[in-house]
Structures are given as C-alpha cells and as structure tokens.
Amino acid sequence: MIDSNIDTNPPAKDVWPSLPLEEWKDTYATLHMWTQIVGKIRMELTPLINHWWNVPLYVSARGLTTSPMPYGNRIFEIEFDFIEHKLRIECSDGALSALTLRPQSVADFYKELMQTLHGLGIDVEIWTVPVEVPSPFSVVREAIPFDEDQVHNAYDPEYANRFWRALVLIDDVLKQFRARFIGKVSPVHFFWGSFDMAVTRFSGRPAPERVGADPITLEAYSHEVISHGFWPGGNGVEAAFYSYTAPAPDGLDKAQVRPAQAFYSSEMSEFLLMYDDVRQSDSPDAALMEFLQSTYEAGANLAKWDRTSLERKA
C-alpha cells in the first residue's frame, strides 16, 4: 500500500539528491576502494574488450552491479545493494550469499568477500593494489593494498543511497543522449578506478599515439573521442558533469556551450557543469541534456567529425 502522505510525483529538482562532499567524503573514499575490489574481480574473470569496456560496473535497480561473469560452467554476479545495504553474490546454479555493508575497513571487506566467494566455490586472485589513487579524500597520500587497508572504514548508508539515486537519474539521461548517436559509442558505465560514470562517442578515426602512455591509456584513446560523464568531485571541486574531446581541437576552450553555468576548466582541460546547478534547475534532465549536446557539438564541429553519418536523424 502506498502511503497517501507521500508525494509520488515531486518536482524534478526535489528528486535529485544533495551530495555535499564534506558530508560524505569518508564514505566516498571507502566506497572507492570497495568498488575497486569488486571491479578487479570482474576484470580478472572477463576477456579484454576494446577500450577496457569489460571492467566497469553498471547502475542497477538496487545499486551497482558487475553484470554476469563466467566461472567454470557457471556465471555469477556481484551487486552493491544501496537500498538494503548488502553486497549480493548470486550464481546461476542458485547459490547466493550476501554481506552487510557497514562501517568496516577495506582489509576486512576484502577478507570477508574473498571468504564468501570461496564458500560459493569461486576462487579468484586480484592485484590488491588500488589504482588511480590516492582518493581525493584519503587521509593518506599513497595506495594501500586492500588486504592491509585499515584506514578507510566509513559507511554512511544515507549517502551511499543518495549517491546511487543520483547515478540512476544520470544514467537515464546519458542513455537518452547515447541513443542519438549511431556511430561507435561506449555503454554508459561506472569506472571504479576514477570513480565516475561515463559514455564516450567515437569519430571512427584513429588518434595520434600517446607516446609514453601506459597500456590502459593507449587502448582507451586509440581513436578520437568525445566523452561525457559525472564525477562526484574531489581536490577542491564539488560534484560535476564533464565533457572533453580527445585530441582537443584548437579553439575548444573558447567554444560557447550551454547552459549558462557551464564553463571550460583550463586546469582540468574539459568543460564542467556543477551537479548542484543541474540539481537546482527547474528541469535537471533538460539542463544536463543541454550540456551534453552543446559540448558534443562544440568538439565535433571543431574536430570536423562527419556528423551526418554519425548521428541519428530526428
């Protein structure tokens, strides 16, 4: 039964949750490590897909999921449930288990997860050093192996749920934006290394090789791209949407984009639109879509993409 006192159709700007960094920075830093552990399990068990598209997580109806992964003659899935605050492991043979998400060190989370997997007949070894760290909010300035990390141990269920609810709304808009493009385009996915959600469009042309880049970067930017996404913030920057074109064409930093609050960050070499500017607008979906479309057009036009053959006709 639906509570008659609950507004089932609140104004759009009241649906998007507030995510002030100072309020959940410790949970953010811990979740960053927990998702890396789960993501590395997926990376270990799945074949390499172009641009490392086999490694991200995906928004689900309850949180973030690996999607099915093969193991022997079975498949299994690991899902962060940010409604009941569980880490669920479900197998195709009917076996299942769940860990409670609670204030707990990364080391204890890692040990409990690996023991639980072993109990389900799944044994997997991962490289236990986190990547793309330190986290913007880590109290240490170096990567701590998962099995040794007693520093990151926070979990606020309210903010974990808020973060997921924001991702649900953002995922929907990014998928609508993705559908407008008929050229090569990535899924909408959550990268646990950089802890951001992204969707990337490709021109179809190879990009100049990035001399000296690591193998992951070489693979990711082997072709011209325009990428859009959401990052929950860090290093003095609150949560924001971003857009970058790689390689960046001349004049991109001077391009006019929308909505009015969007701007080009010389420090980050990308366009930004703050999450709160979207959240507090009369139509957050429309504001975000305007940012996505206008920044794409700026990059594609300056880089001379063949937009006629790459875009879906209205």
Q: 89: which strand partners?
A: 78, 97
Q: Which residues contact 172 (CB under 8 A, 6 or more apart)?
A: 285
- Give pLDDT tens digits for 168-177: 999 999 999 9
- Summarize pLDDT for 247-288 with one digit per residue, the tens: 999 999 999 999 999 999 999 999 999 999 999 999 999 999
Average pLDDT, the chain: 94
Q: How do residues 208-237 score in pLDDT, each as one tens digit?
A: 999 888 888 998 999 999 999 999 998 889
* 13 against 89, higher pLDDT: 89
**What is the predicted pLDDT for the residue at 215?**
87
Tokens of 70: 């093969």
Confidence of residue 1 (pLDDT cuts 50, 70, 90): very low
Beta-carbon contacts of residue 117 (< 8 Å; ≥ 6 apart) = 41, 89, 123, 124
Element (H, E) at 17: none
Give 253's DSSP letter.
G
Two structure tokens written together for 21: 């960094």
pLDDT computed for residue 250 by the predictor: 98
16 beta partners? none
Taking the C-alpha atoms of residue 174 and residue 201, their distance in angstroms, rounded to an integer, is 12
Peptide bond into 247 cis (omega under 30): yes
What's the longest Cα–Cα distance across the chain?
62
- 278-314 pLDDT, tens per residue? 999 999 999 999 999 999 999 999 999 999 999 999 7
Task: Give the separation between CA 24 and CA 55, rounded to whole angstroms.
Answer: 25
Note the pLDDT of residue 290: 98
| pTM attached to this predicted model | 0.93
Collapsing DSSP to helix, strand or coil, 234 comes out as strand
Confidence bin at 136 (pLDDT 50/70/90): low
Q: How far apart are CA 100 and CA 112, in angstroms?
A: 10
